[in-house]
Structure 1
Amino acid sequence: MTTASGQDRPLGHRAASATLWGGVNMALGRVVQFATTIIVARLLAPEHFGALAVAIVVQTIATNMAELGATAALARGEGDPDRIAPTVFSIALLTSGIMTAAAVILAPALAAAFDDPAATPVIQVLSITILLQGLGAVPSTMVWREFLQKPRVVVDLCSLVTVLVLVVPMALDGWGAMALAWSRVGGQLVAMAGYWIITPKRYGPGFDPQVAAGILTLGMPLAMANLVVFVTLNVDYLLVGRMLDPTALGLYLLAFNLAGLPSSVITSVIRATAVPTFGRLFAEGTLGPLAAKFVSGVSYCAFPISAMVVALAHPLIVTAYGGPWAPASVALATLGVFGATRILVELFADLSVGAGRTGWLFWVQVAWLLTLTPALFFGIAWWGIAGAGVAHATVACLVVIPLYVKSLTTVLHVSAWQLLRGSTFPLLGATVAGLAAWLATRGMENPAAALAAGTVLGTALYALLTFRQGKLLFADIRALLRPRAAAFDPAGSAPPGEAARP
C-alpha cells in the first residue's frame, strides 16, 4: 500500500498535501482541456458537439452505475483493502462489461430517443471507456484512498495530452464527432494504464460474499443516487435535443461545460481528498464542527468565478470560441448561476458520503429529478436554451440545497445557520463584483478587451469586499492543519467496533 513514511504522516498533513497536488492537477488539466475545446470548436460544427452530448449522456449514466457504488467502500478509508479490493474489482469488472455491451447494442434506440440518429456510432465508440473505467476502478480508488495525488498529476496530464494529440488530426481529416469519441477512448486507455502503474498495491479479481454484502449495502444507494443525479444533469440534453435541434444542443453543451468549469475544478480538487478525509473525520466525531469551514472555503473560492462567468458570458464565448458560437452566451449567463449552486451541492454530496448517509443522498437526487424535469420543459419552451439554465438554478436553490442542509444538520448535529453562514459574504461580494463587471463592459465592442477589463475589475472589487473574510479563512486553514495534525490517526483506522465495516 503506502510507504511507511507515508503512513506515518498525520492525516491532516497527508490530506493537505494531496489537496495541493489535486489543485495542481486540476489546474493543468483544465488548461489543457480548455485549450482542446477551443481548438476543436474552431474545427467542428455545433451539431457535432450535439452528437457528442448524446453519447456523453449514455456514457456517464452507464459509468456511474457500472461498479454499483462499490468503490465508495474502498475509498472511505475504513476496513482492510486487502479484504475489500478483490471483491470490488470483480463487481466493477462484471458490471462495466454488462454496461458496455448494453450501450453498444442499444445505441440506435438511445440515439433515436434524443432525435439524433448520427449519434449511434459515437455512443458505440464512447462505450469502450465504460469497460476501461471498470478495469481501472480499483487502482484509481487506491490512488484516491492513499492520497497519491502527486503521481496522479502525471497520469491525468498524459491522458489529456493524448486526447489533444488524437483529436486534432482526426478533426482535420473530417472525422467529425467520431474524432471526439475516439480521442476520449485513447485518453481513458492511457489513464487506466497509468493508475495501474502508480497504485500502491495491485489486486486481482476475487469474491467474498460477506464483504460483497457490506459493500453493496453502502454502495447500492450511492450507485442509485449517481444514476439519478446523472439523469438529472443530462435530462436537459434530452429535452433540448427533442424540443429544439442538434445545433441548439451543441451550443448548449458548450455553454453547460463552460459554466460548470468552476464547479468541476473546485469539486475535483476537493474530491482528491474529500471522501477519505470526511469518512475518517466522521468516524472520530469531528466532521460536524469542521463542515462549516469547508462550506466557507468553497464558497469564497467558487462564487466570484461563477459571477464573472455570468457577467461576461458574451465576451467570454466570442473570445474563446469565435463568433459562430455567440448564441451560446444566452445559456451561459443563466447556467453560470447554476454553476455556483452546484459547487455547494457537490460538497454536500461528499459530506453525505463521508458520513455514510447514502440512503438520504439517493432520495435527494430523486426529488431533484422530479422537480427539475417539468421546470426544464417549461423553461426550454419559454426561453430556449437560456430557460434550461433558469430551471437548473431555480431547482438547485429552492429544492436541492435545502434538502441537503436538512439531512446534514441532522447527521452532523449542527444548525443550518452554522453550516451556511460562511457563504453569505462571498455570495454578496460576488454579486456586487459581477454586476460591476457587467455594467463596466456593456458598451465595449472588442470582446477580448471587455473580458480582460471585466475580469480585472470584478476580481479586484471582490477581493476588496471580502478581504477580512479571506484573511480569516486562510488563518483558519493554517490553524486547522497545525494543531489537529497530531490528533489524527495516521493509519486512518476505524473506532473500536467498526473495524469490520467495509
Structure 2
Amino acid sequence: MTTVRGQDRTLGHRAANATVWGGVNMALGRIVQFTTTIIVARMIAPEHFGALAVAIVVQTIATNMAELGATAALARGNGDPDKIAPTVFSIALVTSGIMTAAAIALAPALAAAFDDPAATPVIQVLSITILLQGIGAVPSTMVWREFLQKPRVVVDVGSVLTVLVLVVPMALDGWGAMALAWSRVGGQLVAMVGYWIITPKRYAPGFDRTVAGEILRLGMPLAMANLVVFVTLNMDYLLIGRMLDPTALGLYLLAFNLAGLPSSVITAVIRATAVPTFGRLFAEGTLGTLAARFVAGVSYCAFPISALLIALAHPLIVTAYGEAWAPAGIALATLGVFGATRILVELFADLSLGAGRTGWLFWVQVAWLVALAPALYVGITQWGIAGAGIAHATVACLVVIPLYVKALTSVLRISAWQLMGGSLPSLLAASAAGLVAWLGTNGITDPVLAVVAGALLGTMTYALLTFRQGRALAGEIRSLLHAKGTASDETSPHASTQGRTGTP
C-alpha cells in the first residue's frame, strides 16, 4: 500500500516539474506577447487600443461564463475523467455557442454602453474565440489536470507567435483594432488544435444527468464568481470609456496590461499546477499546513517586481512604447500596487477552489464589486486614469484580501498570522528596493538608462535584504525537483481518487 508520505513526494515532484515548465511557457509566451504589444503600439493609435479594451471586456466575461464552471470538476483531480469529461464537453460546447451568438448579436448595444461604437465589429470578431475556447475546454483542462506543461509550451508559444505573425502585416495594412482582433482569433485556433493533439485522452460529447448535477453544484458558484470578478476587473474600462475618452482608455489599457504582467506571469505559472495540487492536498488534509509556504513563496517573487514597476513607471512606459504613451506612466505607478495584491488574490482564489469552497468565493467577489464601484467613480473623477489605479489598490488591500484571509483561515483551520506572516519580510524588502530604485534614478533623463539602472539597484537591494529567505526558497524548490517518487501507479491522478466521492 502506498504511503501518504510517498504520495506527497510524488505529487510534489510532479507539481514542481510542471511548475518549472509552466514558468518556461509563460516566460516565452510573455516575451513574444510583450514584443508584439511594443511593435503594435508604435503602429496603432491609442484609440484603437481603446476599442480592443471594450471587446476584451465582453470576450472575457462571456468566456468565463461559457462553460458554467464545469471544467473545475475535471481540473481538481478528485473524480474519474472518463465519467466527467463527456458531460463537461457538452456543457462547454452548448454554452459557449450560446455566448458567442449573444455577443455577436448584442455587439452594437455593448459598444454603445462603453460609448465607443467603433468597437462593434471588434467585439463581433473577438467573439469567435469564445466558441473556440469552448471546443477546446476539455482538452486544455486535461492537459492542466495531468501536469502536461512541457508539451503545452509548444502549443502556447505557437499560439502567441501566430498572433505576432498575423497582427503586424494587418496593422501595417491599416486594419487598426481589427488587426488585434483577427490575430487573436488565429492564435486561439492554433491553441485549440494544439490542445486536442497533446491531450492524454480525447473525449466525445456526452451527457449524464447525475454527473451534470454534481458538476454544476461545484461549477455554478465558480462561474458566478468569475462573472462578478471579471465585471469587477473590467468596470474601470467601462467608467473610463464613458467618463473620459477612447484615447484615455487606450492609455489605461496599456498601463493596466503592463502593471498586470507580473501577476499574469506568476499566477499563470502557479495555475499550471495549483488547482489539481491544492485539491489533492486538501483531500489528504495537508493543505492548511502548506498554505502559508505557498503565500510566502509567491510574495517573495511578486512584491519586488511590482515595487520596481511603481518606481520606474514613467521611464518604463517611454522605453517600451514611445513618448506618445508617456501619459500612461502615472496610471502604471498607481496600478503597480494593485498588481502585487492581485497576485495574492489569485492565489487565495486557487486555494479556495482547491478546498472546494466555491460558494463563499462568490460572495467575496460580490463584496469586491460593491466596494470597487464607488471607489472607481470617485478616483476617476478626482485623478483620471491614475485614480482608477488608486481605487483598485485601496479596495484590494482594505476589503478583498482581509475577506479572503478570514475565509481561508476558517476552512484551513490556521490563524491569519500563520497564513500571512511569511509575506511581511518580502513586503518590507520590496518597499525598500523600490525606494532605492526611485531615488537612484530620479535625476536620470534618459529613460532606457533609468530603467536599467533602477532595475539593477532595486534587484541588488532586494537580494541583499532577503538573502536567507531566497536561499531557503531555492532549497525547497531543488528538493522538490530532485525528489524521487516512491509511489507506484496507484498515485496517478486516476487511481488516487478511487473511493472518494463528492466534494471534500
Query: TM-score scaled to structure 2, two decimals?
Result: 0.96
Deviation of 1:494 after TM superposition, in Å, equals 5.4
1:499 aligns to 2:479 (yes or no): no
Question: Match of 2:491?
Answer: 490
> Which secondary structure does the structure 2 equivalent of 1:207 belong to?
coil
**Given that residues 10 and 484 in structure 2 are in contact (C-alpha distance below 8 angstroms), is that contact kept between their aligned partners in structure 1?**
no
For residues 33-48 of structure 1, what are the structure 2 equivalents within 5 Å? 33-48=33-48
Hey, what's the Cα distance between the residues in 1 that align with 2:60 and 2:431? 32
Deviation of 1:468 after TM superposition, in Å, equals 1.2
**Given that residues 284 and 495 in structure 1 are in contact (C-alpha distance below 8 angstroms), is that contact kept between their aligned partners in structure 2?**
no
> Which secondary structure does the structure 2 equivalent of 1:10 belong to?
helix
Hey, what's the Cα distance between the residues in 2 that align with 1:237 and 1:495? 43
Question: Match of 2:278?
Answer: 278
Hey, what's the Cα distance between the residues in 2 that align with 1:333 and 1:473? 29
> Which secondary structure does the structure 1 equivalent of 2:500 belong to?
coil
Deviation of 1:12 after TM superposition, in Å, equals 1.6
Number of equivalenced pairs: 496
> Which secondary structure does the structure 2 equivalent of 1:304 belong to?
helix
**Given that residues 300 and 423 in structure 1 are in contact (C-alpha distance below 8 angstroms), is that contact kept between their aligned partners in structure 2?**
yes
> Which secondary structure does the structure 1 equivalent of 2:228 belong to?
helix
For residues 53-202 of structure 1, what are the structure 2 equivalents within 5 Å? 53-202=53-202
**Given that residues 222 and 362 in structure 1 are in contact (C-alpha distance below 8 angstroms), is that contact kept between their aligned partners in structure 2?**
yes
Hey, what's the Cα distance between the residues in 2 that align with 1:484 and 1:294? 21
Residue identity in the other structure for 2:220: M
Deviation of 1:10 after TM superposition, in Å, equals 2.0
Deviation of 1:474 after TM superposition, in Å, equals 2.3
The change in CA–CA distance for 1:23 and 1:175 in structure 2 (over 3 A counts) is same
Deviation of 1:470 after TM superposition, in Å, equals 1.1
The change in CA–CA distance for 1:250 and 1:461 in structure 2 (over 3 A counts) is same
**Given that residues 79 and 494 in structure 1 are in contact (C-alpha distance below 8 angstroms), is that contact kept between their aligned partners in structure 2?**
no
Residue identity in the other structure for 2:501: A
Q: Deviations over 1:353-381 (max 9, x none)?
A: 00001001100000000000100000000
> Which secondary structure does the structure 1 equivalent of 2:120 belong to?
helix
Hey, what's the Cα distance between the residues in 2 that align with 1:21 and 1:427? 27
**Given that residues 288 and 414 in structure 1 are in contact (C-alpha distance below 8 angstroms), is that contact kept between their aligned partners in structure 2?**
yes
Hey, what's the Cα distance between the residues in 2 that align with 1:295 and 1:76? 20
Deviation of 1:477 after TM superposition, in Å, equals 3.6
Deviation of 1:8 after TM superposition, in Å, equals 13
**Given that residues 307 and 433 in structure 1 are in contact (C-alpha distance below 8 angstroms), is that contact kept between their aligned partners in structure 2?**
yes
**Given that residues 252 and 328 in structure 1 are in contact (C-alpha distance below 8 angstroms), is that contact kept between their aligned partners in structure 2?**
yes
Deviation of 1:481 after TM superposition, in Å, equals 6.5
For residues 14-25 of structure 1, what are the structure 2 equivalents within 5 Å? 14-25=14-25
> Which secondary structure does the structure 1 equivalent of 2:200 belong to?
coil
Question: Match of 2:404?
Answer: 404
Residue identity in the other structure for 1:310: I
Deviation of 1:485 after TM superposition, in Å, equals 5.2
Q: Deviations over 1:325-364 (max 9, x none)?
A: 0000000000000000000000000000000010011000
Question: Match of 1:4?
Answer: none
Hey, what's the Cα distance between the residues in 2 that align with 1:428 and 1:10? 35
Deviation of 1:323 after TM superposition, in Å, equals 0.1
Question: Match of 2:294?
Answer: 294
**Given that residues 12 and 484 in structure 1 are in contact (C-alpha distance below 8 angstroms), is that contact kept between their aligned partners in structure 2?**
no
Hey, what's the Cα distance between the residues in 2 that align with 1:239 and 1:154? 38
Hey, what's the Cα distance between the residues in 1 that align with 2:499 and 2:158? 43
**Given that residues 222 and 362 in structure 2 are in contact (C-alpha distance below 8 angstroms), is that contact kept between their aligned partners in structure 1?**
yes
Deviation of 1:475 after TM superposition, in Å, equals 2.6
Hey, what's the Cα distance between the residues in 2 that align with 1:160 and 1:386? 30
The change in CA–CA distance for 1:376 and 1:500 in structure 2 (over 3 A counts) is closer
Hey, what's the Cα distance between the residues in 2 that align with 1:298 and 1:16? 14
Hey, what's the Cα distance between the residues in 1 that align with 2:174 and 2:482? 56
Q: Deviations over 1:416-456 (max 9, x none)?
A: 00000111000000000001101111111100000000000
**Given that residues 8 and 490 in structure 1 are in contact (C-alpha distance below 8 angstroms), is that contact kept between their aligned partners in structure 2?**
no
Residue identity in the other structure for 1:490: T
Q: Deviations over 1:461-480 (max 9, x none)?
A: 00001111111222334456
Question: Match of 1:209?
Answer: 209
Question: Match of 1:239?
Answer: 239
> Which secondary structure does the structure 2 equivalent of 1:233 belong to?
helix
For residues 239-278 of structure 1, what are the structure 2 equivalents within 5 Å? 239-278=239-278
Hey, what's the Cα distance between the residues in 1 that align with 2:317 and 2:385? 15
> Which secondary structure does the structure 1 equivalent of 2:491 belong to?
coil
**Given that residues 13 and 484 in structure 2 are in contact (C-alpha distance below 8 angstroms), is that contact kept between their aligned partners in structure 1?**
no
**Given that residues 50 and 250 in structure 2 are in contact (C-alpha distance below 8 angstroms), is that contact kept between their aligned partners in structure 1?**
yes
Deviation of 1:16 after TM superposition, in Å, equals 1.1
**Given that residues 13 and 483 in structure 2 are in contact (C-alpha distance below 8 angstroms), is that contact kept between their aligned partners in structure 1?**
no
Residue identity in the other structure for 2:396: A
**Given that residues 372 and 392 in structure 2 are in contact (C-alpha distance below 8 angstroms), is that contact kept between their aligned partners in structure 1?**
yes
**Given that residues 13 and 480 in structure 2 are in contact (C-alpha distance below 8 angstroms), is that contact kept between their aligned partners in structure 1?**
no
**Given that residues 335 and 393 in structure 2 are in contact (C-alpha distance below 8 angstroms), is that contact kept between their aligned partners in structure 1?**
yes
State, as a whole percentage, how many aligned pairs show the same letter: 81
Deviation of 1:281 after TM superposition, in Å, equals 0.3
Residue identity in the other structure for 1:58: V
Hey, what's the Cα distance between the residues in 1 that align with 2:458 and 2:82? 51
**Given that residues 103 and 127 in structure 1 are in contact (C-alpha distance below 8 angstroms), is that contact kept between their aligned partners in structure 2?**
yes
For residues 304-343 of structure 1, what are the structure 2 equivalents within 5 Å? 304-343=304-343
Deviation of 1:17 after TM superposition, in Å, equals 1.0
Residue identity in the other structure for 1:219: G
Q: Deviations over 1:365-424 (max 9, x none)?
A: 000000001000000000000000000000000000000000100111111000001110
Q: Deviations over 1:231-286 (max 9, x none)?
A: 00000000000000000000000000000000000000000000000000000000
Residue identity in the other structure for 2:260: G
The change in CA–CA distance for 1:218 and 1:60 in structure 2 (over 3 A counts) is same
The change in CA–CA distance for 1:156 and 1:303 in structure 2 (over 3 A counts) is same
Hey, what's the Cα distance between the residues in 2 that align with 1:495 and 1:165? 43
Residue identity in the other structure for 1:448: V
The change in CA–CA distance for 1:172 and 1:399 in structure 2 (over 3 A counts) is same
The change in CA–CA distance for 1:214 and 1:102 in structure 2 (over 3 A counts) is same
**Given that residues 9 and 490 in structure 1 are in contact (C-alpha distance below 8 angstroms), is that contact kept between their aligned partners in structure 2?**
no
Hey, what's the Cα distance between the residues in 2 that align with 1:404 and 1:468? 29
Residue identity in the other structure for 1:65: M
